[in-house]
Amino acid sequence: MKNVVIEKVEKGLNVKVESIKTGRPVNPNSVRQLRLKELELKRQNGELKKGRPIVEGSNRQMRLKELEMKRQNGELKKGRPSNPNSARQMRLKELEMKKKLNGGKMPLGRPKSKVEELEVVVL
């Protein structure tokens, strides 16, 4: 086990604290440690490849290329098309028409109700 010496400077006093490194010692010649060193070297050189290799000409790659072309041309539409005969779409069309008739403005909230004034009789 290794001893680690830590020096602390507190309020002008030099204090030495010794602590022991715990845990199992590492064997640098083990198969796992050799593999980790090899992976680190490949990572530093940029030779480390992750995941499955891409198979050119596969159905998925063809589909991805087609989707990318559509995205670049602006032909790709996301989501499903709306139903113009649905109740919501009809309601939205009516609101648009009302906005056009009112000059682009729509009153917010409930319409004002007519309030009748009551006569108060004091006895």
Please write the tens of the pLDDT for every residue from 18-67.
777 788 889 999 999 999 999 999 999 988 888 898 999 999 999 999 99
CA distance 33 to 50: 20
What was the pLDDT predicted at 85? 95
The average confidence (pLDDT) of the chain is 83
Which tokens is 71 given?
């995205």
Q: What is the mean pLDDT of residues 63-73?
A: 93
Query: 1 pLDDT exceeds 50?
Result: no
pLDDT-based confidence at residue 5 (cuts at 50, 70, 90): low
DSSP string, 52-89: PPP-TT-HHHHHHHHHHHHHHHT----SPPP-TTSHHH
Which tokens is 89 given?
């779409």
